[in-house]
Structure 1
């Protein structure tokens, strides 16, 4: 998937991946896509909830071993 910016949130635990995501999205324009890589097992539920609360679109989430990859489109 194409993306405009990447956020490395590996090794960070809740709520830091969400806070860093929020900060990164603030610097982006509408329609741009942020790729987030995290290792926190709670990140899946956290990013789903974050998308619902903020209106940003969670395009996809995937797990490869202990890493989770998310693509979020800025509203």
Structure 2
């Protein structure tokens, strides 16, 4: 299991808000740190991988269980 340095709860929010909040938090992080993002917006399953590709950050995992999408991202090095 991935251990996150930070956790961001975006449950109840809809895109683009979870991606915007993730981007804002990632700017406060240092290279190599990991953030866990929680969401219940199905759109994030498409939006977050695209955002990672565009920003150079690494999508470590994206899993869904009981309606909650858990994403682990690593800040680019």
TM-score (structure 2 length as normaliser): 0.95
Unmatched tracts of structure 1, length 5 or more? none
SS at match of 1:69: strand
User: Which residue number corresponds to residue 19 of structure 2?
Assistant: 18
Residue 40 (structure 1) aligned with residue 41 (structure 2): yes
TM-score (structure 1 length as normaliser): 0.98
User: Which residue number corresponds to residue 5 of structure 1?
Assistant: 6
Number of equivalenced pairs: 75
User: CA RMSD of the aligned region, Å?
Assistant: 0.5
Unmatched tracts of structure 2, length 5 or more? none
